[in-house]
Amino acid sequence: MGLNSLSGICTNLVENGLPQTTAIAVIQNATRTNQQILTGTLNTIEQKLTLTSIQSPALIIVGEVVKLHKKLTR
């Protein structure tokens, strides 16, 4: 699913004008008690993902809305 294409997604977004510093989040089991959230940028998310146990299916969120994560989870 999306995680298998994450590298291509990030590459395409950058090639089409988004800065490498654009925020991105990967969310597994959204809204469940075992939800996992990983945030980063288009140029760091793949590396960070290798250090977690997050697997498909997962949501991929891109853009400024990702920065609201900490504020909304208080």
**Chain segment 7-59, per-residue pLDDT in tens:** 999 999 999 999 999 999 999 999 899 999 999 999 999 999 999 999 999 99
Annotation: CATH topology of 2-72: 3.30.950
Q: What is the pTM of this model?
A: 0.90
CB neighbour class for 58 (10 Å; exposed up to 12, middle 13-18, buried from 19): buried
What are the boundaries of each domain within the chain? 2-72
Q: How far apart are CA 71 and CA 62, in angstroms?
A: 17
**pLDDT at residue 35 in the model:** 93
The larger pLDDT score, comparing residue 2 to residue 49, is at 49
